[in-house]
Homo-oligomer: A and B are copies of this chain.
């Protein structure tokens, strides 16, 4: 990520001759300074993807006009799905957590050091375990209990809070509840989960115990977008760690935490920096 203010253009469109020329020509015509650019043609589906960072003060107009001109001159003619974000506008990330601290501590350390340059308008939890810790950081903590009887109301409440604080992204930092399909659909492409297995292996509950039973020699974690189908959304990032026969399921849980928090942090960063473009049930990640 660059120091100076910049705009990030992310887009996809049907592939054809001249896309880069058209997009970069439009930018050059207005004196735009390209800091970073990535392109990808998906041969099998004929779709084209791009991500471009442009120095904000190299353009002779403000963001609103940039968007309007880009829409008119480039995006509509090329039938693009697109967005332009401004590095000066911090993303607002709502964190959901249950009783495990590793991902929460990790995210707050990154936020504290401005490594993750985001706003955290609140942390929501189905337990009050981390109320003091979160509030010590000056971040509001909202306890939304979830039980067999109140699920619909609880998820509606979470959605209301997310809207109320103008959330951009919801992070499930080892949140041990399964969100309602309504919530998944309403925030499609905005909810990021960390699953404690190397998907598609070991979907669902107690994946480390499943891994132990199967006798695998590596365990992993997967950061993915949440969809209404459990642990089946587009994968953003994965990693693994080596284990052996001497490791109990409890050891795996412990090793796994180190992978979980790292993979979540990487996946979240890619998402926040508009490096992830969803393509069906897969992702293009411009690292």
Residues of B within 8 A of A37 (CB): 20, 39
Taking each of A34, A37, A215, which has the highest tally of chain B beta carbons within 10 Å of its own beta carbon?
Answer: A215
B-binding segment of A75-83, A103-111, A140-148, A183-191 = A103-111
Q: Shortest CB–CB separation between residue A200 and chain B, in angstroms?
A: 5
Contact with B along A87-130 (1 / 0, CB 8 A): 00000000000001110111011101101000000000000000
Contact with B along A268-284 (1 / 0, CB 8 A): 00000000000101111
Q: A226 within 8 Å of B by Cβ?
A: no
List the B residue with the shortest CB-CB distance to A234: B215
Neighbour of A34 across the interface among B28, B33, B41, B132, CB < 8 A: B41
Say whether, besides A102-B113, A133-B136, A282-B245, A215 and B198 are in contact (CB < 8 Å): no
Residues of B within 8 A of A284 (CB): 245
B-binding segment of A61-69, A163-171, A257-265 = A257-265
Asked if B17 and A58 make an inter-chain contact with CB atoms under 8 angstroms apart, the answer reads yes
Q: Lowest 9 CB-CB distances: which A-B pairs, in order?
A: A215-B282, A105-B109, A21-B28, A18-B28, A20-B24, A21-B24, A245-B284, A217-B238, A21-B25
The interface of chain A, by Cβ under 8 A from chain B, is 2, 17-18, 20-22, 24-25, 27-29, 31-44, 49, 58, 100-102, 104-106, 108-110, 112-113, 115, 132-133, 136, 198-202, 214-218, 220, 234-240, 242, 244-246, 248, 254, 257-258, 262, 265, 279, 281-285, 287
